[in-house]
Homo-oligomer: A and B are copies of this chain.
Amino acid sequence: MERDIFLIGGGQTKFGEWWGRSLRDLIEEAVEAAFKDAPCTALDIDLVVIANMLGEIGSHQAQLGSLASSLLPHRPPAVRVESACASGALALHTACAFLESGRAKTVLCIGAEKMTDASPDAIAEGLMGAADAEVDRPSGITFPGLFGLIAARYMHEYGLTRDDLSLVSAVHHSNACHNPFAQFHSTITPEAVSRSPLVSDPLRLLDCSPVTDGAAACILSTQMPSDLRLRASQVATDTLSLTQRATLTSFSATKDAMGKALTEAEISRSEIGVLETHDCFSIAAIINMEDLGFAEPGRGVEIYRALHRGKHAPFPVNLSGGLKGCGHPVAATGIKQLLDVGKALRKNDGAIGLAHNFGGAAATAAIHILERTHA
C-alpha cells in the first residue's frame, strides 16, 4: 500500500428481512453504528463510497452517493460503485485508491441492499444481471442454476458427494449462532441440508445464501491510526459468462486477486489466521479453499470436514457465519466481511486475516488483507 490505511471503526445492521425499513433506513443505521465505533466524527469524512447492486430494482433508487453523503452535515463528495456481489469489496478498493492518492484522508465506506421490497422474481432477475445478459440470460438460467452446474461438474470431476457438500452450510450455520448480526441463529445438520428442497440439482435450499436486507459501514483513514491496518487491496476479473471459461471448477479471478494480494502484503499464505470467504452457494466455499491456495484442487472439502469436527484447521473460516449464516445483502457483504475479519483478529489475538468477496460467478474477485498490530 502507498500509505498506511487503518480500519478505525465500523458497524452494521442485523442482517435479515426488514419489511418495515427502507434502503435509506438501513444505510442510516449502519453509518450511525460506524460513527459510534470510530474515534472520529462525521465531519472528519472527506469522501463517501457506497456499494449497492439492486437499488434501482428493489427501491427505485440510484445516485446513492448523494443520498449517503446527505446523512453527513457537510455532504462530502460521494460515489456509488457496483460490481454485483463484490460491490462491497470494490467500495473498499476504491476508497483505498482515494486514500493513497491523498484526495481523501478519512473515507466512509458503505454497503447496503434492500432485497425484500421487490418480488422474488424481480430480485432473481436483478441478480442475473451479474451474469452475461446476452449469453447466459436468454437460456432462462438463474444464479442457483449456474452454481448448480458448477456443483454438478465439480462432483463429476472430483467425486465430491452430496453429504460432503452439506458440511459447508452446517459449519456456517453453527458459526452464525455466535454472531448477533446474523440472519440465522439455528444450527442445521448436514443431513438437514441434504434433505432440504431441491433448488437446482445438486444444490438444495440450504446450500444457498438467502435473500437478505442489510447494510454495513466502515471508516478507513490514513490520519487516525488503529490496531487494524490494511495490508492489501486487490481486484481481478473474469468473463461474465461461465460459457467462456476454461473450467467450471475453479475461479481464476480469485487466484489472480489472491496472488496479487499476497505480493502486495508481502506475506505468505501460511501467515493468514482468519478467513472470511464468499459462500454464496456451498460449492463456492469449497472451490474458494482451493483457489485461495489452502487446499489442492478437489480437496477443499477436507477443510470443511475438519471445521465440522470442531477443528480450526488450518484456521477459522467464516466465523461470522458467512453468507449462508449471516445472510447476503449483496453489496453489504464485502464491507461486513472486513469488519468480521477485524473482530476475529481482536477476539483471537490474531495477526493477519483475509476477506474474499466475489461478484456473480467470480467475474470479479477482491481480496483484502488486514493486519492487527499490537501497540
Which residues of A pack against B, CB within 8 Å?
2, 22, 24, 53-57, 59-63, 65-67, 69-70, 75-84, 90, 93-94, 96-104, 125-126, 128-130, 132-134, 137, 234-240, 244, 359-360, 363-364
Closest 7 CB pairs of A and B: A62-B129, A100-B101, A66-B363, A77-B235, A61-B133, A101-B101, A63-B84
Q: How many copies of the polypeptide does the oligomer hold? A: 2
A56 to B122, CA, bound (A): 11
B contact residues around A93 at 8 Å (CB)? 77, 79
Query: What CA separation (Å) do A66 and B364 show in the bound complex?
Result: 6
Among the interface residues A70, A125, A237, which one has the most CB atoms of the partner chain B within 10 A?
Answer: A237
Contact A237:B360 (CB < 8 A) given known A22-B134, A79-B81, A129-B56 = no
Q: How far is the CA of A132 from the CA of B59 in the complex (A)?
A: 10
Q: Measured between C-beta atoms, what is the minimum distance from A167 to chain B in Å?
A: 30
Question: Cβ of A80: which chain B residues have Cβ within 8 Å of it?
Answer: 81-83
Q: Are A79 and B235 touching (Cβ within 8 A)?
A: yes
Q: How many Å from the CB of A116 to the closest CB on chain B?
A: 15
B364 touching A238 by the CB < 8 A rule? Answer: no
Give the complex CA separation of A70 and B252 in angstroms: 13
Question: Could you say which of B66, B103, B236 contacts A237, with CB atoms under 8 Å apart?
Answer: B66
Residues of B with C-beta under 8 A to A78 = 83, 235, 237, 364
B76 and A237: CB pair below 8 A?
Answer: yes
CB contacts (< 8 Å) of A77 on chain B: these are 93, 234-237
